Amino acid sequence: MRTRAGPARTNTRRRPPMTAEPTSRGRLDQPLAPKRRWLPEYDPESFGRTSERVARFLGTGRFIVWMTVVIVIWVVWNTWAPHALRFDPFPFIFLTLVLSLQASYAAPLILLAQNRQDDRDRVNLEQDRHQNERSIADTEYLTREIAALRMGLGEVATRDWIRSELQDLVKDMAERRQVFPRESDEADR
């Protein structure tokens, strides 16, 4: 068995030292393990649609009527019911807390719905602007084409122009006949 004699080859690439910890890159042939998150995940589009529905309901007369009915029942119950069944006595602190909680959730939902509507309006405005620009460009193009056609038609003989030229020729011929009568007309006389 023969061996080659010669200079020893050295590897010019450096390899990272082997460690017991996996590298941050991991293996490419395996999916990454899901990371633990402290906050729950949600679909922003679904949440936005739900907030718009809630905001739309909060802006109706039906909501005002139902809210009024609930408050009236709450106040009547806690005023006229037997003392053992009352759950929120006269200053109605719990009712105030419930209404504050409802308002604290309603305000951000309404703002979120308004922001989404603003985004839609902005997109519609941008589309309208592009449509207007296209319409203006088309109108300018058609205006230039009509001007070019008019300039071209200025050099083309029209029916009325030909008719007037023929009438002028007929008049000239009639005048020439009177000045220079035909020989056959003189022979007939």
pLDDT in tens, 33-66: 778 888 888 888 998 999 899 999 998 999 999 9
Alpha-carbon torsion, ordered 102, 105, 107, 111, to 10 deg: -150
Separation in Å, CA 136 to CA 87, 130, 131: 69, 10, 9
d(CA 86, CA 69): 18
pTM, 2 dp? 0.52
In angstroms, the CA 30 to CA 101 distance is 47
User: Does the structure show a pLDDT above 60 at 18?
Assistant: no
Supply the pLDDT for residue 9: 55
Give the model confidence (pLDDT) of 132-187 as tens digits: 999 999 999 999 999 998 887 777 777 888 899 899 999 999 888 887 776 665 55
Neighbours of 113 (CB within 10 A): 21
The first and second tokens of residue 47, run together, are 């949440």
